[in-house]
Structure 1
Amino acid sequence: MIELLKQFFILGCMSFGGPAAHIGYFERIFVKEKQWLSAETFASGLAISQFLPGPGSSQLGMYIGYQRAGYWGALGAFIAFTLPSFALLTAAAMFSSNDTAGWISTLISAAKLLAVVVVIDATISMGRKFIHSFTTAVIAIVTTVWLLVSPSGVVYQVLPILLAGMIGAIGFKQTSIQAASISMAHAQRRSGIILSLFGFLLTVPWLFNNVLPVQVFNLFYQAGSFVFGGGHVVLPLLEPIVADVVTDSALIEGYAAAQLVPGPMFTMASYLGATVEGLSPIWGSIIATVAIFLPGALLMFGVLPVWEAVKSQPRLAGAIIMINASVVGLLAAALYQPVWVSAYSQWTDLIPIAVGLVALIKWRLSVFWVLLMMIGYQWFF
């Protein structure tokens, strides 16, 4: 458990680049280096996180923590990964300043280049694992192209994964799959309890909405329940929901501040909660942060028991194969937009990216040393 907290805290301190980069970091550390879970299990968690509202990378982190140490592991992973950005954004709201030091800009630029390297590595690694036939290659390519040319939105993101699963279920049935470790009846019972709690928290707080802390919890819980996509999608979808307790100025400032810190973009709620008038900054930040992340966690662990039971059905083995291939395409699309688009500015950036890939893949250096390399490049060039 201590090692789990340590690894997620380190990632929380250095995971710039948004959800796509976080996926790459998770795959590198927990699948390749630590081998805490298989590539198949990782892809399964990634697929679930794409279907649900909430912060996808944080949901994936909680899923990894759960696979490692149960529900306490999920909670520990969430706290450790979120704590750095929570603390930084809460402090930023309390002691806001327009001063952005040059070294901060250097660090962010270096972290963006590192994100390119890490996501390329993750895409190659998952591609080698899951692209093993002409059909899986086509599924991955079509998913990538679709996500790059289609409008943004959760429907367009989920559609290729759903279609891939349908194709796999119909045409690629297998029988050699591990037996279900959880019965459907037991899975439905666990899911029912967790999803009932999700619904309870979505409706009951309205009865006490005249109490400011409850109102803040209610508004941010709604935001976490209905915001799909995470990352930069948060701002336009969050604005109408929290307008009653957060000013437009604070919303823009919180969004800008969230660009400057590592970790999940959803922690902009930490900044916004700290600006609510009538609450102490610390309590406002805690309430808003817990409220916006909680529904995504409940949905993840409400769906997970049934998913684990269903995916172990032999007739759905083909669906899992095709979903995994589609997930590779999803990661490849994310590599270009937003990771590459936000990081690449001039042709000389190709040099540290190429060296970083060699260092990570061939020399097997840790992500930390590659980050130092990127910082050196940005600082001197």
Structure 2
Amino acid sequence: MAGNTFGKLFKLTTFGESHGEAIGGIIDGCPAGVELDFEAIQTELDRRKPGQSKITTQRKESDTVQFLSGIFEGKTTGTPIGFIIPNSDARSKDYDHLKDVYRPSHADYTYDKKYGHRDYRGGGRSSARETATRVLAGAIAQQVLASQKISINAYVSQVGSDRCEKHYSKLDFDNTFSNIVRCPDDETATRFIEQIEQIRNEGDTVGGVVTCVIENTPVGLGDPVFDKLHADLGKAMLSINAVKGFEYGSGFEAVTMRGSQNNDIFENNEGEIKTKSNNSGGIQGGISNGEDIYFNVAFKPVATLMSNQQSVDKKGASAEVEGKGRHDPCVVPRAVPIVRAMAAIVILDAFLMTKTTEV
């Protein structure tokens, strides 16, 4: 299986399955001498881990990271950072009934046909359990970026058809993790939680949107052809489990606008070139322009329902998928730190690439 490495200079390679002994990874290209805040790293992992609230899966994992290399006396050494996150509450027997049956809208069928063999215990390598390794790498990347005053925030902006109508500039990101749905607007958060609870009680699931905002990005990240910054961000987000869409800046709404409405007019703001609007989402020609980078990531409803679904088995015979197990009724609350992490990995990688090309 290929495709287990992401990044060019700051690279993450991950390994492990949902019900294996552990998941883990190797981070290569992290600058030396970075003093790590291990408590902050664990906090990010805790924000993604299962079993943290009534609206998430009740699988219990501490997600406590064990670093194996690349760190000495609390600082990065510049060598590969190896780490593992043990699995302790897998309950593989819960998946015995899926051994020969393909779950609707999961990777079961495609995985089996491509590789001729699959780990049916929780989806194996295709499980979102793998994203914990991304959050770990992203947490380290965020600490490196913080030294450059670059900040990355993400929050739940939509659940089902219900949206947070406030622009991100009107929100206090410090409130994002004050509630279990990870929306910084309290009134909207209450509605989101009520909707998720109702849908969960019905044995169904619902999707949503995570909005990400990257502030204080310098001008010049990204390259204008195949390595456009928004293309790298798009690949990063679309590589996350359950993601169905990515849009940055004015996104799909731009098709309803005229050029005179969508163009970002330049102006001299106290000696600094800025734009009056930011429909470009902080990226023009694939290169960051110094404005806020903001984008939306759409997540589908969780494919596993708590009600039975019709399907087929390996031989093509009709079969019924039993609705049982421990699953999220909505993934977006736990997806917030994942989106944030993948954004950090992309931005740090682009930042390091820019440094290598400076004359």
- State the TM-score, normalized to the length of structure 1: 0.23
Of the two structures, which has the highest relative contact order with CA contacts closer than 8 Å and spacing of 6 or more? 1
- State the TM-score, normalized to the length of structure 2: 0.24
* Structure number with higher helix proportion: 1
